[in-house]
Structure 1
Amino acid sequence: MVKLDRFEIILSNPEEVYFAGQEITGKVIIETSEEKKVNEILLELKGRARTYWTKHSGKSRIHCSDSVPYFCEQLNTHYTSKFVATSPDGKSREKILPAGIHEVPFSYTLPKTLPSSFEGEFGFIRYTCRATCERPWDFDIVARKVFTVVGIEDINGDSEALSPASVSDSNYNIKFCCRKQGSINAQMSLERIGYTPGETITVHCKINNESQRSIKSPLIRLRQEVNYRAKTFSGSECTRKTSRNILTIEKPDVAASAQRDWEEKVLLPSLAPRLSKCSSINLQYFLELIVDQKLSLFIPIIIETIPLLSGIFTKVKVKVKNEPGNANGNVIEATQDSTESVVQVTVTDEAGNVVEEDDQLGEELEALLASRKRVRMPSSILSELYPSLPSPYYK
């Protein structure tokens, strides 16, 4: 059996994370200590969504599944074509790979409409790259690489994500003979409902306890809900839902006949964004204020991937003149937080022309938001926007 010392796929981006529409580049590494007969080096890049589960009804079982392909690119690298040699008997030509290390480069531009990678209990959205070493009269050698795709979900073009939200409710407790024990009123509001991972949500909360009992440990909770869609063998549609708590913040008790107002800062961890371009998996998030067993509030929030332009520009280097302590009046570079790494971005108009930065950024930012300029971000920005991005895919 022919064996290779090394056969693997190396992507140019060490994070192995790409935006939809971005070019993915890499190389196939082949290392062998002696000459090997190899027919072809084949590549396949594929992306798909799949859902699957089994329903039990008595002794019968019903299998539900669905698969949605997004792309499947298969290509022959023709790398072995330059190593064609004539067999010793002179009757045939063989492709013999010389000993040493061989690098087979490749590139592929991802479609712009891809949803983000996701791994769930009853389904996934997965993107893979597979290299095959095709050998004569022997088993093929296969190398696989899974990479993460971040779909384009832009807050700047989503009016719903930029709108504020508020909710309120009350719980009237009634004792025997219709005598009121008192009421509990709760309110929760957000400045907007659209955010990206790494951002901080400011939650305005108010609890007015007019009852005769104290409220034990109210909670603020972020919950994820996933809805899967599939079909049975006969073609009938079926759905399944899962829910899990992302984070929980416990607050102090609220005494009887007391009121509490506060602002809670909730830091969003690395989460899978909404999957608006996927028909098989629907992902939702809810921010909840749980006062007691009978009173709870919730606001649905949207997790997207492209943050507000204003949030990006706070990290871009700004030229500052006549800074205190800069007696010579030299131009220096400053950031909002000197301890924070700077994200480099490029702003372009609809025609793709680069918009130059001015010294004063406030007025320009208003114009950018009004005229819907686009922001081109390099792959290195992913480590800034998603500092704890899991690899190789979201969960």
Structure 2
Amino acid sequence: MKAKLKTNKVIDIALKEEKFYFPGETIQGTVIVQPKSSIRVNPIILKFTGVISISDKESIPLFQSCKTIPVNEGKGKLEQKPYQFSFDFLVPDNLPSVMDFGKKKLARIEYKLIAILDRPMLPEGLCPRIEYPINILEYVDVTKDNFNRPIEKQKEVTTTNYGKCQVRLSVPRSGYTRGETVPVSIIVGTGSSYVRKDGLIVELIRKVKIQTSKYRIDEEHVLKSNKFDINIIGPYNFSQSIASQIVIRNTPPTIRYKEKMVRIHYKIRAQLILDDKKTPSSSFFIEIPISVGTWPPADVPIDDDDDEDIIHYMGEMMMSDDEEEDDIWIEDNDIQDARRASSNGSTTSSRLSDYNIPANNYINRSSSTPDLIVNPLQQQMNHRSSYYEHRTSKTFAFTPATSPTQHKRIGSEDFNKRNVPNHTLTYLSSAPTTPTTSTTHDNINYANTTTITNTANAANTSTPTSAMIYPNTHNSNTSSVIGNSFSSSSSSDDDDEDDDLFAIIEKKKKKEERELRRKQRMIYGVN
């Protein structure tokens, strides 16, 4: 017990346990009285209260429990020495979590223990008193099944410049506690080439709604914002996948008290920027609701926000158009299982070792990635562990697909591996590449998600220093871009089979393919 016997206060409070209390738990402690001289007193008044304060202008009581503690066996007199009086209170049910927005003074939910040393013939307001804050949390267990289901949403709009634009947003589960990281997967699809710096914004949104008889507050705060470049250049598909990590900062948990009196809920928002006009049609966004729970215990303290890091979006352009949908989601807290389809028609996935991301030295490969919008991902997306790796080895390494495992809540590290392969960036090896002699076909290696075939280059004796692995989504005769340079095609197509009709047809097809690659280089400006 933290008995504050060395306090200079006439009256003080010490709790047996300094912690966050949940409904149904018992708060135990001691009232410490240390008169500076012999005094006559009435029984000590001890109150346990909860209140909602709105902008320091309106207070709404949540509850109040009051006790009186007799002093000195009812004699009504205390000498000049320390006294201790034990007490306990039961935390009521159906209370909202403690909440404080710090400097903004927006609203506050607080719980207090108030001890008053009542003196005869003295108004209560003039008697010695102490107020002790109590941290109470609503019990929201995010390890329950309804918080551990994956969520996915997709939205499509038709634009003038890029045709049909689609954004698919998904998270592996909907429940988190403060200090955890939310792994977010986004797939962007367009009808044509689309290159824009900071073209995609992924945000953690906090929505605050408070409604009383005198005041109404409806605000939206951006707690975290990540920006990503969009680099969709085609020509074989026009999609790009992006993985984002969002840490849930110190913020009040999800609260829904008395329907619309106090509501705090959270969303993950992905916004695709289409142009710089800053009009409602210049961008579109998609949102997924998540819950910030209170159990398991938070990894970080539950304190107020740093106001300087929060961006307020109060304009009509950024307000959500899914308010009714969010209400339904929060009301029953039951999310349907996300629908997934197979990626490239495969039922298993290859797993390669983790890759290290360098600070620089990357190139875009959206032109050679699978069309993620046309070929959606597997249904069990949260168990998929297929991704790409830059390798310095000269050989392929294949690890048999692992069976999906059920989610065990150990922490956000379980979801660090991306559920969607990141087809956006391919990292180059720092080791020098040995020049090779090209054969009739370009030296391209392909890796399928279930099997690996490397027969096209069996006759080629020149082996590249580093093998780059790509999904098998188009014809093997298609040239791939590496470091903005094309592998040169052999100019010698003549052989001993000139009289063979099959050889003539093959030469004609190769000539047409070379001509097609030449035109592609002219179109996309690749030297």
TM-score class, shorter-chain normalisation, is 0.5 to 0.7
Kindly state the Cα deviation for residue 300 of structure 1 after the two structures are TM-superposed: 1.1
Assess, with a 3 A threshold, how the Cα gap between structure 1 residues 76 and 284 changes in structure 2: closer, same or farther.
same
* Conserved? CA contact 1:170–1:295, under 8 Å: no
Change (3 A) 1:225 1:239: same
Q: Deviations over 1:173-195 (max 9, x none)?
A: 31xxxxx5444332111122122
1:7 — aligned with what?
A: 10
TM-score (norm 1): 0.62
- 1:47: which partner in 2? 50
Pairs aligned (count):
277
- Out of 163, 169, 193, the position equivalent to 1:188 is 169
C-alpha separation between the residues in 1 aligned to 2:60 and 2:288? 31
1:248 to 225, 229, 232: 225
The Cα of 1:38 is off from its aligned counterpart by 2.1
- Match for residue 114 of structure 1? 95
Structure 2: gaps of 5 or more residues: 1-6, 274-281, 297-407, 415-527
1:305–1:181 distance in 2 versus 1, CA, 3 Å: closer
Who is 1:133 aligned against? Answer: 117
* Residues 110/297 of structure 1: CA separation in 2 closer, same or farther (3 Å cut): same
Contact 2:142 / 2:148 at 8 angstroms: preserved in 1? yes
Residue 22 in 1 paired to residue 9 in 2?
no
Q: Is the 8 A contact 1:27 1:103 kept in 2?
A: yes
Kindly indicate whether structure 1 or structure 2 has the higher relative contact order, using CA contacts under 8 Å at least 6 residues apart: 1
1:124-182, Cα deviation, whole Å (9 max, x unpaired): 322111010111334311211112111112335563x33322122234331xxxxx544
**Residues 130-169 of structure 1 mapped to structure 2, 5 A cutoff:** 130-138=114-122, 139-157=126-144, 159=146, 161-169=147-155
Query: Do the aligned residues in 1 keep the contact of 2:112 with 2:132 (CA within 8 Å)?
Result: yes
SS of alignment partner, residue 231 of structure 2: coil
Match of 1:78 among 70, 87, 94: 70
- Structure whose residues are more often strand by fraction: 1
Contact 2:117 2:129 in 1 (8 A): yes
> In the alignment, which residue of structure 1 is the partner of 2:251?
271
Aligned identity (percent) is 19
Alpha-carbon displacement from aligned partner over 1:86-119 (angstroms, at most 9, x marks no partner): xxxxxxxxxx211122222211111232221123
Q: 1:147 and 1:195, CA in 2 relative to 1: closer, same or farther beyond 3 A?
A: same
**Structure 1 position 29, deviation (Å):** 2.1
Are 1:231 and 2:218 counterparts? no
Change in 2 beyond 3 A, CA 1:13/1:222 = farther
Higher mean alpha-carbon deviation, 259-268 vs 296-305, is at 259-268
The Cα shift of 1:49 comes to: 3.2
Match of 1:283 among 239, 254, 264: 264
Distance verdict in 2 for CA 1:124–1:45, change over 3 Å? same
Give per-residue Cα distances to partners, 1:215-247, cap 9 Å, x unaligned.
Answer: 221221101011111114xxxxx7430111111
Give the Cα–Cα distance (whole angstroms) in 1 for the partners of residues 16 and 226 of structure 2: 36
Shift of 1:82: 4.7
Distance in 2 (alpha carbons) for counterparts of 1:229 and 1:311: 35
Q: Which deviations, in whole Å up to 9, do the C-alpha atoms of 1:36-74 show, x marking residues without a partner?
A: 232232100012335469xxxxxxxxxxx8765443111
The aligned amino acid for 2:31 is V
Is the 8 Å Cα contact of residues 45 and 130 (structure 1) preserved in structure 2? yes
Counterpart Cα distance in 1 of 2:90 and 2:222:
36
Please tell me whether the aligned partners of residues 272 and 284 of structure 2 are also in contact (alpha carbons under 8 angstroms). yes
How does the TM-score come out when normalised to structure 2? 0.47
Where does the alignment leave 5 or more consecutive residues of structure 1 unmatched? 54-64, 85-95, 175-179, 233-237, 315-395
Cα separation, 1, equivalents of 2:16 and 2:176? 26
Alignment RMSD (CA, Å): 3.0
Q: Distance in 2 between matches of 1:264 and 1:21?
A: 39
Distance 1:9 1:17, change over 3 A: farther
Counterparts in 2 of 1:242 and 1:7: CA distance versus 1, 3 Å: farther
Equivalent-residue separation in structure 2 for 1:102 and 1:193 (angstroms): 50
Q: Look up the match of 1:36.
A: 39
